């Protein structure tokens, strides 16, 4: 009698535990794509579990070749999200053992950086692909939107060089890069920068063959996978050096 009662209790307990465990499986349910002034945002919605920042990484954080990937590694993760094409981009999810991979394809040279993060309630993977061409007024950020990690306070644009200064906060070893991009979004000048006492100053020579609009930016990248972690940018006039 006791053995029969014990078995009955265990079966009832398992009936509660097994469904609860199964429902905790993290599942990608939907992909959404939206256009913003500075970037195109891809959002993957999840259900059934908690998505952690450490679960995500980008094995392909350089999108200038027209492709990018973000991987989510989590026990039991799966996807029922269909592929989506919007904003001249296609996003699809490929399942792997213990992980899923978000694959993005688009026109070459359209985007310069990939940034990714996690939001909660509901669980979401957020991927921002930053546009390579000179920013519109709404896409200029003198203060980085990632939490004021970098700012551009003053800038002087000369023929063949840009001189600027600003502030830095909490970047690894206080090191980052400053570069100039031409009207097509290609890098035409680049210099490493090391801030001192929270301030930085740098002159970046550049090379162009004709006057045009360009971009001056200061950027920092993730130590984990090389994706974008901080950016401040402004549109600048470019002209050939005398």
If asked whether residues 234 and 150 sit together in one domain, one would say yes
In a domain, 8, yes or no: no
The closest of 212, 181, 69 to 129, measured between CA atoms, is 69
Q: Are 25 and 48 in contact (CB under 8 A)?
A: yes
Q: How many helices (H) and strands (E) does the chain have?
A: 1, 17
What is the model's pLDDT at position 165? 98
| Residue 202, domain CATH | 2.60.40.2550
Tens-binned pLDDT, residue by residue, of the chain (242 aa):
444 444 444 444 444 444 444 445 899 999 999 999 999 999 999 999 899 999 999 999 999 999 999 999 999 999 999 999 999 999 999 999 999 999 999 999 999 999 999 999 999 999 999 999 999 999 999 999 999 999 999 999 999 999 999 999 999 999 999 999 999 999 999 999 999 999 999 999 999 999 999 999 999 999 999 999 999 999 999 999 99
Residues forming a β-bridge with 230: 220
Distance CA 39, CA 6 (A): 60
- Looking at 108, 131, 154, the residue that finishes a domain is 131
- Which tokens is 125 given? 């993977």
The verdict on 190 and 212 lying in the same domain is yes
Q: Please say whether the beta carbons of 134 and 215 come within 8 A.
A: yes
Identify whether 195 is part of a domain: yes
pLDDT of residue 16: 42
Cβ-in-10-Å burial (0-12, 13-18, 19+) of 9 comes to exposed
**pLDDT for res 185:** 98
User: Domain range for residue 203?
Assistant: 137-238
Tally the domains of the chain: 2
pLDDT at 24 (0 to 100): 58
Asked if residue 180 is part of any domain, the answer here is yes
């Amino acid at each position: 009698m006791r053995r029969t009662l014990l078995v009955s209790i265990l079966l009832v307990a398992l009936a509660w535990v097994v469904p609860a465990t199964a429902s905790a499986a993290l599942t990608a349910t939907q992909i959404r794509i939206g256009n913003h002034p500075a970037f195109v945002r891809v959002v993957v919605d999840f259900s059934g579990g908690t998505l952690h920042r450490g679960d995500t990484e980008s094995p392909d954080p350089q999108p200038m070749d027209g492709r990018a990937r973000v991987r989510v590694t989590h026990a039991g993760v799966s996807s029922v999200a269909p592929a989506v094409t919007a904003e001249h981009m296609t996003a699809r999810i490929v399942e792997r053992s213990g992980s899923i991979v978000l694959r993005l394809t688009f026109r070459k040279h359209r985007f310069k950086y990939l940034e990714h993060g996690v939001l909660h309630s509901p669980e979401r993977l957020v991927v921002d692909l930053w546009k390579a061409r000179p920013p519109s007024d709404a896409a200029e950020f003198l203060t980085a939107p990632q939490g004021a990690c970098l700012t551009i306070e003053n800038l002087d644009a000369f023929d063949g060089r840009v001189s600027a200064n600003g502030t830095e906060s909490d970047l690894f070893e206080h090191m980052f890069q400053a570069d100039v991009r031409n009207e097509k979004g290609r890098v035409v000048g680049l210099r490493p920068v090391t801030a001192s006492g929270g301030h930085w100053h740098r002159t970046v020579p550049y090379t162009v063959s004709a006057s045009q609009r360009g971009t001056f930016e200061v950027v920092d990248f993730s130590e984990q996978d090389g994706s974008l972690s901080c950016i401040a940018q402004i549109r600048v006039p470019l002209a050939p050096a005398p």
